[in-house]
Amino acid sequence: MGPLTISFIGFAAILVLAFLRFPLALSMGLVGVIGFGELTNYRAAISNIGRLVMDLGQSYSLSVLPLFILMGLLVEKGGMAKQLYRAAYAFLGDKKGGLAMSTVVACGMFSAISGSSIATAATMSKVAMPEMRRYKYADSLATASIAAGGTLGILIPPSVILVIYGLLTEQSIGKLFMAGFLPGMLGILFYTLAVFFVVSRNPSLGPAGEKTNWPERLLALKNVWTTLALFIFVIGGIYIGLFSATEAAGMGAAGALIIAISSGNLKISEYFNVLREASVLAAKLFALLFGATMFSNFLNRAGLPDALLGIINSFDLSAMAVIGIILLIYILLGCVFESMSMILLTVPIFVPLVKNLAPELGLGPDLVLIWFGILVVVVTEISLITPPIGLNVFVLKGVVKNVSVGTIFYGVTPFWMVDILRLAIIVLFPAIALFLPSMMF
């Protein structure tokens, strides 16, 4: 059998196991081990398991995951989301659609600490939804602004998805964080423009709120300075070379703990709950990473990357055409796959192809992978709000019980449309993602 056939059988086996409700980590690991054993021998496959567990388990850079998760959970449980929303509302709330715009901005600021789209969407729905209903916002616009704003959690640093991508591709996590900053800010701008477009067509969907005077605005900013200072300290420290991404994760977790203690919003028992939740989430991500690496080794042994490279060369496609095809595949996969699963399954396949395009794109092999990582995350953001899987939509539906899934999907349409525009801009102008990494100390 050829490499494409062998790889197709492997993917089909994972889909069957997923349909039978096997955990994804176990599915990828099992298929990877059996496939590797069939292509070589099972003694080599078992030896490969031990080597992978030792190499990944002892990886110093892997410690960045539990530390950033802990930082995000301390911020989430410490009630900082409510303060961020109030600060954004103080400046934007008196405009048409201002509460929805405030939600998007607050989601962006909260994402800068939490690093999780699901946590951002779930937390901000409890904070922003009651206010928007009080001012009689349409459910479609209210829920859409939360679902779309929540997607920023996987792009604006620190991002768990970017950490996973960096570990899979052996790229600098600090440079990936810097690369995600400007595209993340562009996402906030485009989402607020989407809100403006919606309310300009129908002002009744997002009535203006009450005007806030300047003393109240300054007071609102005073309440969030610690959160903003933590973000600047962590990301600024990486940028100027004060510490590495792993060290920044430790400093960020310590800073979030100090802020949580000083705010007095958490009881002693809740700190133990945060530690337990962070440990469980980190263990799940480690298991996914182990399984994905085993499956990736099987695909490499089967020769899938070389086979795909040969197919692309036979069609004599330009580098941009190849990038366009890969992104189209991601958009289609995003309609049926959960975001983390999609990245873990596809990144090991596409990265060798993209790396081979570096000379034609005029980028170095490392820079082209950093740029591609941002493209992958932006496409993943789109998948979080597109039907039929749209994970953020279903997370929101679980929190806001009396709004239909169809209403939320209808409301997010302008948001994923501007996301596609943002994706096209980053494809055509790689400097948007690569400017800050190239300027790092």
- Where are the chain's structural domains? 3-438
- For residue 218, give both structure tokens: 């300054």
The larger pLDDT score, comparing residue 53 to residue 152, is at 152
Q: Determine the pLDDT at residue 223.
A: 72
pLDDT digits (tens, 9 = 90+) for 143-202: 999 999 988 888 888 888 898 899 888 898 999 999 999 999 999 999 999 999 999 999
DSSP-H helix ranges across 316-430:
319-334, 339-356, 358-361, 365-383, 391-399, 405-428
Closest CA to 188 of 90, 110, 294: 110
Q: Determine the pLDDT at residue 312.
A: 76
With bands split at pLDDT 50, 70 and 90, how would you rate the model's confidence at 40?
A: confident
If one counts every other C-beta atom within 10 angstroms of the C-beta of residue 30, the result is 18
- Integer-rounded Cα Rg, in Å, for the chain is 22
% pLDDT > 90, the chain: 22
Environment class of residue 130 by beta-carbon count within 10 Å: exposed (0-12), middle (13-18) or buried (19+)? exposed
- Any idea which residue has 């946590």 for tokens? 119
- For residue 176, give both structure tokens: 């990936």
The larger pLDDT score, comparing residue 427 to residue 57, is at 427
Can you give the pTM of this predicted structure?
A: 0.88
Length of the chain in residues, anyone? 441
Pick the most confident of 118-132, 312-326, 363-377, 390-404. Answer: 363-377
Query: Number of C-alpha atoms within 13 angstroms, CB side, residue 339?
Result: 27
Q: What are phi and psi of 124, to 5 degrees?
A: -70, -25
Distance CA 135, CA 127 (A): 14
Distance CA 330, CA 337 (A): 10
In three-state secondary structure terms, 115 is coil
Q: Determine contact, residues 353/323, Cβ cutoff 8 Å.
A: no
Distance CA 348, CA 437 (A): 23
Distance CA 249, CA 13 (A): 37
Mean pLDDT, range 371-376, rounded to an integer:
95
Q: Determine the pLDDT at residue 441.
A: 65
Give the orientation angle of helix 24-39 with respect to helix 339-356, to 10 degrees.
Answer: 40
Residues near 55 by Cβ (< 8 Å), separated by ≥ 6? none
Give the orientation angle of helix 225-239 with respect to helix 173-201, to 10 degrees.
Answer: 130
Distance CA 208, CA 93 (A): 7
Q: Determine the pLDDT at residue 190.
A: 96
Does the pLDDT of residue 403 top 80, yes or no?
yes
Q: Determine the pLDDT at residue 104.
A: 93
Does the pLDDT of residue 101 top 90, yes or no?
yes
Round the average pLDDT of the chain to a whole number and report it: 86
Q: Determine contact, residues 51/63, Cβ cutoff 8 Å.
A: no
Distance CA 26, CA 299 (A): 16
Does the pLDDT of residue 85 top 90, yes or no?
no
Distance CA 40, CA 54 (A): 21
Q: What are phi and psi of 137, to 5 degrees?
A: -75, 145
Does the pLDDT of residue 127 top 70, yes or no?
yes
Q: Determine contact, residues 195/105, Cβ cutoff 8 Å.
A: no
Write the CA distances from 75 to 13, 79, 89, 253, integer angstroms: 39, 7, 19, 9
Q: Determine the pLDDT at residue 137.
A: 92
Angle at Cα 162 formed by Cα 160 and Cα 165, nearest 5°?
A: 115
Q: Determine the pLDDT at residue 378.
A: 93
Sign, CA dihedral 117-84-192-436, equals negative
- For residue 409, give both structure tokens: 């999907």
Q: Determine contact, residues 361/424, Cβ cutoff 8 Å.
A: no
Environment class of residue 241 by beta-carbon count within 10 Å: exposed (0-12), middle (13-18) or buried (19+)? exposed
Q: Determine the pLDDT at residue 80.
A: 77
pLDDT digits (tens, 9 = 90+) for 240-291: 888 888 888 889 889 888 888 887 777 888 888 888 988 888 888 888 888 8
Q: Determine the pLDDT at residue 188.
A: 94
